[in-house]
Amino acid sequence: MLEFATSNWVLRALVLLLIFGAVAAVVLFVSSVASRRMRVSRELAALSGDGVGPTQESLTRKRSEGVWASMVKRIESAGLNLGDTAESDIAKQLKAAGYESQSAPRVYTLVRLMMLFALPGLFLLFSWLRPEPPSVVQLYIGSAILMVMGLYLPNLFIRAKADRRREEIVNGFPDSLDLMLVCVEAGLGLEAALDRVGREMANTHPRIAEMLTQTTLLMRAGATREDSLRKLGDTSGVDEIKSFATLLIQSDKLGTSLATTLRVYSSEMREARRLRAEEKAHRLPVLLSIPLVVFMLPTMIGVIIGPAIVMSIREIIPSMMGN
C-alpha cells in the first residue's frame, strides 16, 4: 500500500493539495484578522487627524501588538496552549530585543508554529507546480530542512535584534551621561535631569530616551528611586546600564556628589567605547587577509608559476623522454 501511494502521482498530488489547503486556510484567517484590524486603525486615524508624531507611532505599535494578542487569545480559547516551559527565558530574550508586551512569548511561539508549517507547505506547493516533480526522498529532506529553519529563524532574528539594540544603547549612553551631567551641574535633581535628558534624546537615541522616560514616570508614580533605577537596569538588559543604576543607588545612599559620579562614569564609558572602536579597527587586517588569501593568492601563484609550467611542458618534458 505504501509503495502504491508513493508511486501513484494522483495520491501524491492529493496529499500536496490537502497540505496547500491547510496552509492557505491559515494564511486567509491571519490576513482577514489583520485586514480587519488595519481597517479599524485607518478609520480611527482618519477621525483623529493627519498628525504624525511619537504618540501616533506608539499607538500604532500598540494596535499591532493588540492584533497579535487577540489572535493568541482566540487560538488559546480554541484549545491550543501556546505556553512554553522556558517562557521566562523567552520573555527575557524578547525584552532584550524590545518586545515588552506580556503576550510577547505566546506570540513568539505562534510565529514559530506558523513558520514551522508555512515553509514546508510553500516548498511542497512549488514542487507540485514543477513540470518534473521531485522524488519522495527529496520532498522529505527538503521539508525537514525547512521545518528546522522555520523553528530556528525567529530565534536568530530575536538574537540579532537584541544585539543590535544593545549596541545602540551602549554607543549612545555616554552622550546621555554628558547631558545628564550638564543638567545636574546646572542645579536639577536626578528626576528632573532624567526627564530632561529623555526629552532631549528622543530624536538622536530614541531607545535610551524611552528608558529614561519610563524611569521618570515610575518615580512620579510613587516608586522609590532605588526600585526605579533597578527597573531601568533590568529593562535595558545591558550590563553598563545595570552598573550605572547600581552606582546611582550607592551614590544616593552614601550621599556622595552625583555630578562627580556621572563625570567619572561618563569618562569610563567613553574610554570603553574608544577601546571597542580600536578593537574593531585592529580586526580589519585579519578580516582582510581572508579574501586576499582566497582570491588573490591563487591568481598570483598562477601568474608566477604559469610560464614555468608551460616551458616545462614544451622543452623539459620532451627532452627527458628523448624526443
pLDDT per position as a tens digit, 191-242: 888 888 888 888 888 888 888 888 888 888 888 888 888 888 877 777 888 8
The answer to whether residues 129 and 172 belong to one domain is no
Is residue 77 within 8 Å of 42, Cβ to Cβ?
no
Q: Which residue matches cell numbers 482618519?
A: 46
Residue 191 resides in a domain: yes
Is residue 218 within 8 Å of 231, Cβ to Cβ?
yes
Domain end residue (candidates: 91, 116, 133): 133
For CA atoms 213, 216, 221, 227, give the dihedral sign: positive
For residue 123, the enclosing domain spans 2-48+59-133
Q: What is the per-residue pLDDT for 323?
A: 57
pLDDT per position as a tens digit, 146-190: 888 888 888 888 888 888 888 888 888 888 888 888 888 888 888
pTM above 0.85, yes or no: no
The answer to whether residues 104 and 187 belong to one domain is no
Burial 208-230, CB ≥16 within 10 A → b, else e: bbbbbbbbbebbeeeeebeebbb
% pLDDT > 90, the chain: 0
Residue 263 resides in a domain: yes
C-alpha cell at 38: 488595519
Residue 209 resides in a domain: yes
